[in-house]
Structure 1
Amino acid sequence: MSDQLQVTKTVDASPEQMFSLLSQPARHTEFDGAGMLRGVEPGSEKVTGTGDEFIMNMNQDALGDYQMKNTVVAYEENRKIGWAPSIHPIDGYTDKLGETQATGHTYTWELEPAGSGTKVTQTYDWSGVQDDNFRGFFPMLTEDQLSDSIDKVANAAK
């Protein structure tokens, strides 16, 4: 089994429109295909390059409310953006996770002009997960959820 899911589709929004939305963490709840995002912490308004960080408020059945710090690992304006989430704070949920290190996965969006729209490739990659306990949780999303996210970004970007 592969350590990633990848979905590619062409949508009716420009790369610039798509990138503008993807680079605004406060708007990520609009295209959350898994229904876990609850908002962004203040100070996370706009991504401007690799190394930028933003903290998302999250919720899911196993953990309840929690936070993920996302570090931007790919940034090419209007063409590519990606982030690597990690539980925040890194040792803040030992009561629920034990010593599990919830790091090593990425979400990357590639945007390519396609006529009047955009060919979008979203890659959800957990090949960098080192903790065997955490690796057992993957994939946490489905191809359908990734596809739904792409559609939601395109619709919100218009």
Structure 2
Amino acid sequence: MSQDRILQVSGTIAAPPEKAFALLADPARHPELDGAGMVRGLDSGGPVTAVGDEFVMRMNQDGIGDYAMRSEVTDYEPGRRIAWAPSIHPPGSLAHVIGEIDPSGHTYGWELEPTADGGTRVTHTYDWSGVADEGALGLYPRVTEEQMSASIAKLGEAAR
């Protein structure tokens, strides 16, 4: 795994891990947690209950416009960890914008650790080390550490 293809930020929120996890496991709530402002809404799927579950989100980014991403849950431990791997949905639907490259192979992950005061230490990881198409690497990273920190703050607000 290449450390130069991973962003990781941490912060503490004033809510227990179970409340934070419930929000992360419900893709319908993801738009209010998105510090990057790309997530528009749930198209299908959710709530998440296990590795292998899938959901499709409506998205929008400057330079790309509206599109959809299908995410498969790759890690799931209730109250502790959740991660998903997004891919363009349907495959190839952004070829007119990004060309014939395959940008899949990245994950968004969350780890939750209870704190002594009843809050949660949140670690948010964005990992694109699994992107195999060298031509797609110029698209990454899609989010910044600041946007990821904003997502942690939004998670804390929503979990109150």
The TM-score range, normalised by the shorter chain, is over 0.9
How much identity, in percent, do the aligned residues show? 53
Contact kept in structure 1, 2:46 and 2:54, CA below 8 Å: no
- TM-score normalised by length of structure 2: 0.95
1:89 is matched with which residue?
Answer: 90
Following superposition, the deviation at residue 140 of structure 1 comes to 1.5
2:10 is matched with which residue?
Answer: 8
Moved more, 60-69 or 76-85: 60-69
1:23 is matched with which residue?
Answer: 25
For residues 42 and 103 of structure 2, the distance between their equivalents in structure 1, rounded to whole angstroms, comes to 19
For residues 90 and 71 of structure 1, the distance between their equivalents in structure 2, rounded to whole angstroms, comes to 14
For residue 129 of structure 1, give the secondary structure of its aligned residue in structure 2.
coil
For residue 29 of structure 1, give the secondary structure of its aligned residue in structure 2.
helix
For residues 112 and 28 of structure 1, the distance between their equivalents in structure 2, rounded to whole angstroms, comes to 20
Cα-to-partner distance string for 1:41-81 (whole Å, 9 max, x where unaligned): 13x23000000000000011221110000000000000000
2:57 is matched with which residue?
Answer: 56
Cα-to-partner distance string for 1:66-99 (whole Å, 9 max, x where unaligned): 0000000000000000000001111222211221
2:19 partner amino acid:
Q
For residues 66 and 47 of structure 1, the distance between their equivalents in structure 2, rounded to whole angstroms, comes to 22
For residues 61 and 10 of structure 1, the distance between their equivalents in structure 2, rounded to whole angstroms, comes to 30
For residue 30 of structure 1, give the secondary structure of its aligned residue in structure 2.
helix
Tell me how many residue pairs correspond in the alignment: 157
- TM-score normalised by length of structure 1: 0.96
For residues 136 and 158 of structure 2, the distance between their equivalents in structure 1, rounded to whole angstroms, comes to 32
For residue 41 of structure 1, give the secondary structure of its aligned residue in structure 2.
strand
Unpaired runs of at least 5, structure 2? none
Cα-to-partner distance string for 1:24-45 (whole Å, 9 max, x where unaligned): 0000000111111110113x23
1:47 partner amino acid:
V
For residues 63 and 138 of structure 1, the distance between their equivalents in structure 2, rounded to whole angstroms, comes to 14
Q: 119, 125, 132: which is aligned to 2:127?
A: 125
Runs of 4+ in 1 over 2 A off after TM superposition: none
Unpaired runs of at least 5, structure 1? none
For residues 31 and 136 of structure 2, the distance between their equivalents in structure 1, rounded to whole angstroms, comes to 24
Moved more, 14-23 or 88-97: 88-97
Q: 27, 33, 36: which is aligned to 1:34?
A: 36
Q: Tell me how large the CA RMSD over aligned residues is.
A: 1.0
